[in-house]
Amino acid sequence: MRRSEERTERILEKVKIKEREKRKRRNAILCASLAAGAALVLSVNLVLFVPYTVHDYDLSAYQNSEYYSLMSKIGEMTYSPYTTNNFEQWHLFEKQLNEGDAQDEPSAEQNDAPQTQRYEEVTNNQTADVIEGDLFKRSSDYVYYLSQRPAEWKTVEENGVKRQNYVEAAYILRTYSINHGVTRFVSELAIEPQVLADQGRSDGSAAKGFFDEPQVFHMPDYFTFSSNDELYLSEDLSTVTAILEEVHSSGIFTTIVSIDVSDPAAPREIGRVAASGSSVTSRMKDDTLFLFTRFSISREPDFSRPEEYLPQFGALGNMQPLPMEDIYLPDDANQASYLLVCSIDPDTLAVKDASALFSYRSTVYVSENNIFATREIRKTSELRIPNPIGDAYFKYRYTYTEIYKIGFDGNGAFSPDGSFEVHGFLKDRFSLDEYQNVLRVVTTTDDNCYDSMYTYVTAEGVPDELQKVLDRNKDLERPKCNLYCIDLDDFSVIASIEDFSDPEEHVESVRFAGEKAYVCTAAEVYNPNVVLPEFLDPVFEFDLSDLDNITWTDTGTLPGYSLSLIEFTDGTLLGIGYGENAFTLKIELYRREGNQVNSVAKFELENCAFAGTFKAYFINAEHGLVGLGVRRLREEGEEYLLLRYDGTKFSEVGYKFELAGGSDYYSGSLNRMRACYADGYVLMFCDSRTNVIYIG
């Protein structure tokens, strides 16, 4: 029989064994728990903090939106990839911000006045019966001119007390009466930038105008004027329509302002609307105003805010985006921008129709019944040629211009007809012309081989096929000038003349006139003995009366080149542009005589700057007049150069006279000078300055 001590020891030993087993089980459970916790923490950190590359836009909330495909394309083009993690992407500690309410759309009044004068066109329009906007328009009795007044502080004195008065930046509509050479200032209307109602005015005053009730305004932090501001005068002479671009802290907008001028002494604003983007151009056809703006999308837009990525139209603060069905999205879009095309009732400022072309920019041509918009496309191709030593490898880059056609009817309704391509790029809108359902296009190509690897010589010499490619590359990498004729029924090329110019020349100006086409090409020549590059050019005349047998001739090489070409008096062609270098003005007349185009008269002015915008040129073929603003180098002040062609030569009619000051602001911009002919006088305008000269 065991002793009691032994039994006690055995019991204690069993207890110790059980305790050890329990501790082992607890340790195992604890280790398992710690391991599971560590695994969980590691997993969470892996999920939250392991970096990965993304574009910072999430379109999952917009999968059912009509704009989803457009958003996807914009996201690819505007969002830069970067490294992030889910902790950042899930925005665990961010709050949602509420957006403010939009401003109500202003109402517009209308004031129909009986016609008491006649309309006089002052702009050299590209297309007959399609009126282009300009800085000035006129009737038989009045001239309306659009100028720009910069913001400034002015010292004013009242009752012997001087104080600083802030004058806000504004566009100014100036009205002048004209009567047989007597020009009198009649009135001016300040058209202030249209800003959101909650921005307020810097001086704290209440602003009245197109809003129903006075609003407190604040001038934006940043405001600049545009060089694309334009005016129209209605045929009944009661309304001026101004197209104004505004660049300020809340964005870039193009504003259409309707102004009642039935009483020229008291013009008043009666309505305005806005479109997204900067002003490109505009046209007036019958009772429809066509507006074109360029809306560029900023980097990484917020897709919850349509104004950041969709073109819009309406009252600023209450603008409406275009539906997706009115937006053309090319598969190969290469720029995050739109060309917005609107047809507008000039009386009510209501939109008749609207379209937006994604990736299109700024070249627009309007014919009698169609709109043509363009964009440049870069295409690449590769070529491999087997070589005993190693394959020859070439990469090529080609430039094409895609042209999109939009038809319109008498009510301003659009009918998009599709697009087609031509080889090369366009100089400007004058490179396009529609004639008898054929679109004529002049381009310059700049193709090149931008990458290559090859071995010139093998034991047997250069392989024949490789030599052909090398020879082709030499010819490929020089500019070529081309003329294409496109059938607008099926967009097929029915005639073309490729590489009609000398080597290294680009198209510098084009003008179509019925069955004739005039093209000025030019090349820069660098003379080691001359600091400035020299310009050399021919002027071509094409006969397009028979598209199966297009013929042409040219002037041969002449110094300089023309920025613009236009038919002039006595069967001549007028060219305005550069002489031998960039500081020489050349005005030259050309005439076809037999099988040669000859220079028949020329005027040059050295060491000067001059207006480079076609609308800034005063051209009156009936009286043989040409005028434009000039500035002599190393001399102060701007002058107006006025020439008259007497059938044999140019003579100066009004050189060295400055524009008289009509107010205290003057930009001195040569491109803002305008002139017109009235009753034997030439009337000149620039900002607040005017002048008159009698020429008979």
**Residue that the structure tokens 């809340």 belong to:** 250
State residue 23 phi and psi, 5-degree precision: -65, -40
Which helix (H) or strand (E) segment holds residue 14: the answer is helix 4-49
Name the DSSP class of 80. P
Q: What is the largest CA-CA distance in the chain?
A: 154
Mean pLDDT calculated for residue range 5-17: 59
Burial of residue 594 (CB within 10 Å: 0-12, 13-18, 19+) is exposed
State residue 232 phi and psi, 5-degree precision: -135, 150
Distance of alpha carbon 1 from alpha carbon 324, whole angstroms: 102
Q: What is the DSSP string of 170-211?
A: EEEEEEEEEETTEEEEEEEEEE-----TTSB-TT-PEE-SSS
Structure token pair of residue 80: 């830069």
Structure token pair of residue 192: 């202030």
Q: Using 50, 70 and 90 to split pLDDT, how confident is the model at 94?
A: very low
What is the tally of helices (H) and strands (E) in the chain? 4, 52
Distance of alpha carbon 620 from alpha carbon 695, whole angstroms: 12
Mean pLDDT calculated for residue range 282-300: 94
pLDDT digits 0-9 by tens, 203-225: 333 333 333 333 333 444 456 67
pLDDT for 310 equals: 94
Q: Which of 105, 103, 137 is nearest to 122 (CA)?
A: 137
pLDDT digits 0-9 by tens, 17-52: 666 666 666 666 666 666 666 666 566 565 555 565
Rg for the chain (alpha carbons), in Å?
35
Q: What is the DSSP string of 367-381?
A: -SSEEEEEEEEEEEE
Q: To 5 degrees, how large is the angle CA 492–CA 498–CA 503?
A: 155
Q: Using 50, 70 and 90 to split pLDDT, how confident is the model at 380?
A: very high
Paired strand residues for 295: 338
Mean pLDDT calculated for residue range 328-334: 91
Distance of alpha carbon 497 from alpha carbon 543, whole angstroms: 12
* Cα first-last separation, the chain: 154
Q: Using 50, 70 and 90 to split pLDDT, how confident is the model at 101?
A: very low
Distance of alpha carbon 218 from alpha carbon 208, whole angstroms: 13
Q: Does residue 529 register a pLDDT over 90?
A: no
Distance of alpha carbon 318 from alpha carbon 295, whole angstroms: 17
pLDDT digits 0-9 by tens, 536-581: 789 999 999 999 999 999 998 888 889 999 999 989 999 999 998 8
Q: Which of 194, 265, 258 is nearest to 232 (CA)?
A: 258
Q: Using 50, 70 and 90 to split pLDDT, how confident is the model at 84?
A: low
Average pLDDT, whole number, for the chain? 82
Q: Using 50, 70 and 90 to split pLDDT, how confident is the model at 95?
A: very low
Q: Which of 170, 82, 116 is nearest to 663 (CA)?
A: 170
Structure token pair of residue 313: 């139209």
Mean pLDDT calculated for residue range 386-398: 82
pLDDT digits 0-9 by tens, 434-450: 999 999 999 999 898 88
Which residue would you say has higher pLDDT here, 252 or 143?
143
Burial of residue 580 (CB within 10 Å: 0-12, 13-18, 19+) is buried
For 235, other C-beta atoms within 10 Å of its C-beta total 15
Q: Which of 274, 102, 321, 306 is nearest to 198 (CA)?
A: 102
Distance of alpha carbon 551 from alpha carbon 514, whole angstroms: 15
- The answer to whether the Cα torsion of 380, 384, 389, 390 is positive or negative is positive
Mean pLDDT calculated for residue range 468-493: 91
Which residue would you say has higher pLDDT here, 59 or 480?
480
Distance of alpha carbon 241 from alpha carbon 264, whole angstroms: 14
